[in-house]
Amino acid sequence: MSNNQEPRRRFLRQVIAIMPAASVASGAALTQSACSQSTETAAASPSRDYHPVYFHASEWRFLQAAVDRLIPEDRHGPGALKAGVPEFIDRQMETPYGYGKLWYMQGPFHTDLPPELGYQMNLAPRDIYRLGIEACNDWCEKQHGGKVFADLDFATQEAVLGQLEHGKAEFGTLPAQTFFSYLLTNTKEGFFADPIYGGNKDMAGWKMVGFPGARADFADWIDRPGEKYPYGPVSIDGRRG
């Protein structure tokens, strides 16, 4: 976490600029094409009264508090919480991605190898979240007078996330940086993924950065570089923002 107060819009534009269009929903789109899960279930319209399927109540509180600090609401638009990012992440935990079925998970597992050699742990994303949230809450209780992460004030929550990011918190078998990396990556995915996957409600993320979504034809705009696209975003299922 950085203390730099650079406007959130600029930060999010930089995020989406370096993400290929096909990977905006990498945690979601990949899993849907690579799995046997029912498309109808996975792509159901997001509910305003969503009840988590994977996360327990205490984990759900942590997730809501954490994503709210990673992409908070401000004058530029809704944050991760209103955009439904927790719902997106919870849904992902019940896909092959969440179970690690898109990865080679047979071992051997050499966790001391350099990161450029790829993921080397025997934990699927759903395990990383379960262990990471528990470890973070335990660490917060020890460091902050018995309070779990969700009960801390905003400034302290941001400080804790910064400590996770830079490996300054001790989590035991699961490195704090690994947990933070998945939390941050999935938060960004949920903010920019197509709304059919549960996040980016009302296409808030797309509207903020001017992304047109799944429009089929841009031929009229090929020769108009730098000109603002005047039409709102469109979801894969045809909904318009």
Nearest to 151 by CA among 73, 60, 82, 62: 62
In a domain, 239, yes or no: no
Q: What is the mean pLDDT of the chain?
A: 82
- pLDDT digits over 226-237, tens only? 888 888 899 988
DSSP secondary structure letter of residue 104: -
- Going by pLDDT thresholds of 50, 70 and 90, the confidence category of residue 240 is confident
- Averaged pLDDT, 176-199: 95
ω into residue 108 within 30 of 0, thus cis?
A: yes
Does residue 95 sit within a domain? Answer: yes
Q: In the predicted model, is pLDDT for residue 83 greater than 60?
A: yes
Q: How does DSSP classify residue 194?
A: -
For the segment 76-97, the average pLDDT, to the nearest whole number, is 95
**108-140 confidence digits (pLDDT tens):** 777 776 777 667 778 899 999 999 999 999 999
**Structure pTM?**
0.78
Q: What mean pLDDT is predicted for residues 182-193?
A: 96
Alpha carbon distances (Å) from 157 to 180, 183, 223? 13, 14, 46
Q: What is the mean pLDDT of residues 156-175?
A: 92
pLDDT value, residue 10? 60
pLDDT bin (cut points 50, 70, 90) of residue 141 is: very high
What is the span of the domain harbouring residue 177? 23-31+51-105+118-221
Type of residue at 198 = G
- Exposure b/e, 31-62, CB count within 10 A at least 16 = b: bbeebeeeeeebbeebeeeeebebbeeebbbb
CA distance 109 to 48: 41
Q: In what helix (H) or strand (E) does residue 159 lie, and over which residues does it extend?
A: helix 154-165
Give the residue with greater pLDDT, 238 vs 195.
Answer: 195
Q: What's the pLDDT at 239?
A: 85
Domain assignment of residue 74, yes or no: yes
Write out pLDDT tens, residues 12-66. Answer: 555 555 444 434 444 444 444 344 343 333 334 444 688 999 999 999 999 999 9
Weakest-pLDDT range from 3-17, 128-142, 151-165? 3-17
> What are the backbone dihedrals phi and psi of residue 77, each rounded to the nearest 5 degrees, phi first?
150, -175
Decide if 28 contacts 88 (C-beta within 8 A): yes
Q: What is the pLDDT of residue 36?
A: 39
Domain count, the chain: 1
Asked whether residue 88 is assigned to any structural domain, the reply reads: yes
Query: Within a domain: residue 68?
Result: yes
Asked if residue 18 is part of any domain, the answer here is no
What pLDDT does 12 receive? 59
Is residue 202 domain-resident?
yes
In a domain, residue 165? The reply is yes
User: Residues of the chain with pLDDT > 90: what percent?
Assistant: 51
Q: Are 195 and 204 in contact (CB under 8 A)?
A: no
139/115 Cα distance (integer angstroms): 25
